[in-house]
């Protein structure tokens, strides 16, 4: 168990490990997306109020879920890297950021597209959308801070602190925005999830959530690999890898 | 009193009071920014009274943001921060001392001047009191959160712009509850909940921010 | 003077990294009471970085830094009580007077002795300005104020980064006298300087040699 953990912390081992995993994850992403999109677009019923508009939920909900999940992962791995000075943890943390930011942006855009037919306008200061907007700012701050340092180790440690501060703040921000929203708009019709959902819709949604997760892991491994090569460019095994190919 | 923490606060304040820029500019900024709104939006007293809580709070938040730099950047560049660390002063004490000085020099004057802005914006006595109270509880939190962002960006070019991006999202809860307390008071609703939450946020930031700031400071000095 | 003549500083296989590349070939040395070392090297060879690591300000190094046989991070309080570091940034507040600046640093060491501050300023020929704001002084005068701390805060280990810079001949002579007195009292001095210093007794030289890592790395980049 422990040797496995130590191996995981070694960039070289992680690189080779993700090389083995990646084909499987790529294939799974492809299959799950094909299945999820087919279920969502073709084999799930229309919503009795929203019609076809409801189908955007199959993108919006997984993206929204992952945007939060990725932030937590980013902050925790950054924290692990900071406390135990594990290089791999920082690499994972830094690789998470742009992916999470894109998921957040996707959640915002799909939310706005959904809003046009539903609310009659692209943007409403709805609690959910506002929270995601702030989450996007947090991601941008993390990436901007990491970019601002010349030295990569310094950048890793500074960005990890910011991510942890953000992690403490996310529940507070979320709560305050929910509270603010309830104060100003009363009960809104903004809920994407319906209290009781048709079984076919649920099946499609769950498939899409899993598809997004597997896709996330695929992209993450890919980014981590690139980051490892960049950081380990001085070490022998990377040189060998580059010259042999 | 010769404890290092206290002599540090004293030094921070005396340094800042000697350069009027740190002391007067944020206050002047606060007054000027708030007085732009009647010109930009409407001079109508009823609408101004409705907008006042938000305007006062946004302006206060930006004033604090502006003031942060003066407490850290010069000290970092002149080598004062590293000398403090070498004297064995814990980083968290430095953050506490600087935040305290920052608040006494910038936050407290904002609290005092807020009722004047309230009068200009036509909000009643009760709401004015609550504006002061909410700023009293909220601005120290802003100083503390701001200090984390400041410590993270100490050694950076364009640190100021980055600071804004890092810190403003973290200011949002304070802004929401601060402005809402004033708003509730101005329409005669109960505002104690908002003030209680502002107090809770203050306690939380007193506990956590000095440590995060200290860790960030060590990274910036490294 | 509150010297502890049995203090020892030991450096083993120390090298400092910048952007994951070592700046110089590992150095080892040890020093005890009454010894002084001058670190020499070209611009960018890592002299300042080495001093900052020695003081525990920076951790971009590999190798051991031991104060009385313990890692400096483990005995920080004791180490810092004996250490005075004066770097490129002098740590002086321009808005405070000379005396206030020096007084503040004394307070941080839990002492207050105005007489010794004035005496130090007198020796440095800036006693007449003790109420002047540091911001109004010339570069050389600021350097003198910072160096006055070696008198006003009696500690055993001085770490001075380019202390001769901006000093006139008179100031340099004073610094050399002060160093000799300190060594005679059982103190330790580590300093960097471009110039050869002849006035300090028993000053050993330590040269930082650039590693050839950089070249090989650049060559590899060119090939790849």
What is the distance in angstroms between the Cα of C12 and the nearest Cα belonging to chain B?
A: 21
Answer yes or no: do B166 and A162 touch at CB < 8 A: yes
Answer yes or no: do C217 and A152 touch at CB < 8 A: no
pLDDT at A194: 52
Whether residue C125 is found in the same domain as residue C21 = no
pLDDT at A239: 80
Q: Give the three-class secondary structure for C11.
A: strand
Tokens standing for residue B189: 């609703």
Question: Which residue among B172, B177, B219 sits closest to A158, beta carbon to beta carbon?
Answer: B219
Q: Mean per-residue pLDDT for C23-35?
A: 91
Residue A76 predicted with pLDDT over 80: yes
Burial of A26 (0-12, 13-18, 19+ CB in 10 A): middle
Mean pLDDT in chain C?
87
Show the domain range for C30.
Answer: 1-82+155-224
Instruction: Dump pLDDT digits (tens) for B8-41.
Output: 888 888 888 887 777 789 999 999 999 999 999 9
Find which of A45-54, C101-110, C213-222 is predicted with most confidence, using mean pLDDT.
C101-110
| CA proximity to C220, closest of A236, A226, A228, A153 | A236
Whether residue C164 is found in the same domain as residue C72 = yes
- Only one residue has tokens 């959910």, namely A128
Which of A8-12, A219-223, C68-72, C150-154 bottoms out in mean pLDDT, i.e. has the lowest? A8-12
Into how many domains does chain C fold? 2
Whether residue C149 is found in the same domain as residue C186 = no
Answer yes or no: do C224 and A243 touch at CB < 8 A: yes
For helices C98-108 and C114-123, give the axis angle rounded to 10 degrees.
Answer: 130
- Only one residue has tokens 């150095």, namely C27
Answer yes or no: do C224 and A242 touch at CB < 8 A: yes
Instruction: Dump pLDDT digits (tens) for A182-215.
Output: 776 544 444 455 555 678 888 899 999 999 999 9
Answer yes or no: do B166 and A158 touch at CB < 8 A: no
Whether residue C103 is found in the same domain as residue C206 = no
Band of residue A242 on the pLDDT scale cut at 50, 70, 90: confident
Question: Which residue among A137, A161, A172 sits closest to B216, beta carbon to beta carbon?
Answer: A161
Whether residue C74 is found in the same domain as residue C180 = yes
Closest-CA residue of chain C to B79: C91
CB-CB neighbors (< 8 A) of B222 in chain C: 57-60
Between the alpha carbon of residue B157 and those of residues A149, A193, A218, C181, the distances in Å are 9, 45, 35, 43
Residue A197 phi/psi, 5-degree rounding, is -115, 140
Mean pLDDT in chain A?
88
User: Are β-strands C8-18 and C61-67 bridged in parallel, bridged antiparallel, or unpaired?
Assistant: antiparallel
User: Are β-strands C21-22 and C157-161 bridged in parallel, bridged antiparallel, or unpaired?
Assistant: unpaired
Rounded Cα–Cα distance for residues B158 and B69 (Å): 12
Q: Does A161 touch chain B (CB under 8 A)?
A: yes
- C87 found inside a domain: no
What is the distance in angstroms between the Cα of A173 and the nearest Cα belonging to chain B?
A: 6
Whether residue C58 is found in the same domain as residue C159 = yes
Show the domain range for B161.
Answer: 4-221
CATH number at residue C161: 3.40.50.300
Query: B 45-104 residues with CB below 8 A of C?
Result: 75, 77-80, 82-89
Rounded Cα–Cα distance for residues A110 and C103 (Å): 62
Answer yes or no: do B162 and A145 touch at CB < 8 A: yes
* Sign, CA torsion A195/A198/A203/A205: negative
CB distance B219 to A157 below 8 Å: yes
Rounded Cα–Cα distance for residues A70 and A21 (Å): 20
Residues paired with C189 in a beta bridge = C36, C158
| Chains in touch with C (≥3 Cβ pairs < 8 A) | A, B
Into how many domains does chain B fold? 1
Question: Which residue among A234, A242, A243 sits closest to C20, beta carbon to beta carbon?
Answer: A234
Instruction: Dump pLDDT digits (tens) for C78-99.
Output: 999 999 999 999 999 998 999 9
Q: Does A192 touch chain B (CB under 8 A)?
A: no
pTM listed for this prediction: 0.91
Question: Which of C220, C221, C222 should be substituted to probe chain A, the one whose Cβ sees the most A Cβ atoms within 10 Å?
Answer: C220
Rounded Cα–Cα distance for residues B101 and B71 (Å): 8
For helices B108-120 and B45-77, give the axis angle rounded to 10 degrees.
Answer: 160
Burial of B36 (0-12, 13-18, 19+ CB in 10 A): exposed
Answer yes or no: do B165 and A172 touch at CB < 8 A: no
What is the distance in angstroms between the Cα of B71 and the nearest Cα belonging to chain A?
A: 20
Closest-CA residue of chain B to A169: B170
- C88 found inside a domain: no
pLDDT (tens, 9 = 90+) of chain B, 222 residues, equals 456 677 788 888 888 888 777 778 999 999 999 999 999 999 999 999 999 999 999 999 999 999 999 899 989 999 999 999 999 899 999 999 999 999 999 999 999 999 999 999 999 899 999 999 999 999 999 999 999 999 999 989 888 899 999 999 999 999 999 999 999 999 889 999 999 999 999 999 999 999 999 999 999 998
């Amino acid at each position: 168990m422990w040797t496995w953990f130590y191996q995981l912390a070694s960039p070289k081992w992680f690189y080779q490990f993700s090389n083995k995993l990646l084909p499987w994850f790529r294939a799974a992403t492809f299959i799950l997306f094909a299945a999820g999109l087919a279920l969502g677009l073709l084999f799930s019923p229309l919503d009795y109020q929203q019609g076809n508009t409801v189908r955007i939920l199959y993108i919006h909900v997984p993206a929204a879920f992952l945007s939060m999940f990725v932030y937590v992962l980013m902050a925790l791995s950054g924290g692990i890297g900071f406390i135990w000075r594990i290089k791999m943890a920082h690499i994972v943390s830094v690789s998470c950021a742009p992916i999470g930011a894109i998921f957040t942006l996707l959640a915002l855009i799909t939310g706005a597209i959904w809003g046009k037919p539903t609310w009659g306008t692209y943007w409403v200061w709805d609690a959910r959308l506002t929270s995601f907007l702030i989450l996007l700012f947090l991601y941008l701050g993390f990436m901007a801070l990491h970019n601002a340092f010349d030295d990569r180790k310094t950048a890793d440690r500074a960005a990890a602190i910011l991510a942890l501060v953000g992690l403490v703040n996310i529940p507070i921000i979320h709560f305050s925005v929910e509270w603010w929203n309830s104060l100003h708009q009363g009960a809104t019709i903004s809920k994407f999830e319906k209290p009781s959902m048709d079984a076919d819709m649920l099946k499609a949604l769950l498939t899409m959530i899993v598809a997004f997760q597997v896709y996330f892991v695929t992209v993450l491994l890919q980014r981590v690999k690139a980051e490892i090569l960049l950081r380990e460019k001085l070490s022998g095994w990377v040189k060998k890898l580059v010259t042999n190919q | 009193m010769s404890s290092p923490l206290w002599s540090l606060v004293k030094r921070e304040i005396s340094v800042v009071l000697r350069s009027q820029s740190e002391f007067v500019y944020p206050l002047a900024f606060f007054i000027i920014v708030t007085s732009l709104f009647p010109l930009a939006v409407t001079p109508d007293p009823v609408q101004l009274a409705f907008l006042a809580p938000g305007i006062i709070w946004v302006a206060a938040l930006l004033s604090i943001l502006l003031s942060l730099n003066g407490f850290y950047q010069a000290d970092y560049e002149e080598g004062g921060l590293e000398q403090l660390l070498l004297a064995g002063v814990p980083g968290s004490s430095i953050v506490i001392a600087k935040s305290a000085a920052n608040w006494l020099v910038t936050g407290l004057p904002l609290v005092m001047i807020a009722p004047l802005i309230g009068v200009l914006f036509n909000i009643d006595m009760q709401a004015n009191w609550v504006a002061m109270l909410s700023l009293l509880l909220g601005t120290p939190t802003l100083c503390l959160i701001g200090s984390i962002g400041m410590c993270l960006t100490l050694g950076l070019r364009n640190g100021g712009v980055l600071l804004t991006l890092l810190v403003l999202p973290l200011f949002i809860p304070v802004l929401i509850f601060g402005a809402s307390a004033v708003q509730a008071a101005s329409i005669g609703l109960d505002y104690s909940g908002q003030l209680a939450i502002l107090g809770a946020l203050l306690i939380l930031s007193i506990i956590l921010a000095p440590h995060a700031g200290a860790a960030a400071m060590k990274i910036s000095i490294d | 003077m509150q010297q502890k003549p049995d203090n020892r500083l030991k450096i083993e296989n120390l090298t400092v990294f910048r952007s994951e590349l070592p700046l110089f070939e590992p150095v080892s040395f040890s020093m005890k009471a009454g010894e002084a070392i001058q670190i020499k090297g070209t611009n960018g060879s890592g002299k300042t970085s080495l001093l900052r690591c020695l003081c525990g300000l920076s951790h971009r190094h590999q190798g051991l830094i031991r104060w009385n046989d313990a890692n400096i991070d483990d005995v920080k309080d004791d180490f810092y009580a004996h250490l005075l570091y004066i770097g490129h940034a002098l740590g002086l507040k321009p808005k405070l007077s000379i005396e206030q600046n020096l007084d503040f640093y004394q307070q941080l060491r839990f002492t207050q002795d105005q007489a010794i501050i004035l005496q130090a300023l007198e020796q440095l020929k800036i006693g007449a300005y003790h109420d002047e704001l540091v911001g109004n002084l010339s570069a050389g005068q600021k350097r003198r104020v910072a160096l006055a701390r070696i008198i006003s805060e009696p500690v055993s280990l001085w770490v001075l980064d380019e202390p001769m810079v901006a000093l006139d001949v008179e100031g340099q002579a004073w610094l050399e006298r002060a160093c000799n007195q300190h060594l005679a009292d059982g103190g330790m001095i580590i300093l960097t300087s471009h110039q050869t210093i002849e006035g300090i007794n028993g000053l050993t030289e330590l040269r930082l040699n650039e590693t050839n890592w950089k070249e090989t790395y650049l060559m590899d980049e060119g090939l790849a």
